[in-house]
Structure 1
């Protein structure tokens, strides 16, 4: 199957290069010593990282984050092979920031596709476990998503279809 340069479906090498570039950006920002960083992205299964509805979901989330963290500083807002992303510096205690982000991630069915990752300079990523919360749930069965991914419990097409269905719902 030929891919045009306008295709939103990316090769594995393009996805890996984008992941590496994001990690480098994050590491540079962490070295600057801010109390907390917020990495905003979408968690979309499958090779198409910009299906219909993704841009609107990202924009609505981006705006909600700006309202929720009024003193934050936008460090980067881009689109790469993995889709849209942004990095904000926060002057908020990392656990408080993560608590607020979890509330946003759980505020709307489509927000389940949003990743709001908090990082602290000496602590690294601040996960849900730091708040005593369970891992995120699978889009299809409600079990821990990481378990379903590792065991390949569901056909990829089913997970992708569910994610795309969530993107058709009105934005949060």
Structure 2
């Protein structure tokens, strides 16, 4: 159950912040299911924080990290080098967009 919800549009697209009384690990499990099973789930970027503001990652659930749409590198790799994965794979971006 959501205690607080805020949705707005940023330069990166729509963003939502939802506060719930549910346990963070359980929320993370539901979010991973959404990322893996919804038709558009592959393009979702869902972060889950616990009560202390510490991010609960896939590794806490013993789930492998998400991969780039195009290559086998971890999606986090591109975040860490502060480059969007699509910028690295310029020629392949149009093909991906047509598939999505």
| Aligned length in residues | 95
1:88 to 2:1 alignment: no
* Separation in structure 1 between the aligned mates of residue 16 and residue 46 of structure 2, nearest angstrom: 10
Give ranges in structure 2 of 5+ residues lacking alignment: none
Q: Corresponding residue for 2:90?
A: 157
Helix, strand or coil at the partner of 2:46? strand
Q: TM-score, normalised by structure 1?
A: 0.47
Structure 1 residue ranges (4+ consecutive) displaced by more than 4 angstroms after TM superposition: none
CA deviation string 1:36-66 (max 9, x = no partner): xxxxxxxxxxxxxxxxxxxxxxxxxxxxxxx
1:139 to 52, 65, 69: 69
Q: How much is the aligned-residue C-alpha RMSD, in angstroms?
A: 2.5
* Separation in structure 1 between the aligned mates of residue 30 and residue 24 of structure 2, nearest angstrom: 10
- Listed as ranges, the matches of 1:21-40 within 5 Å are none
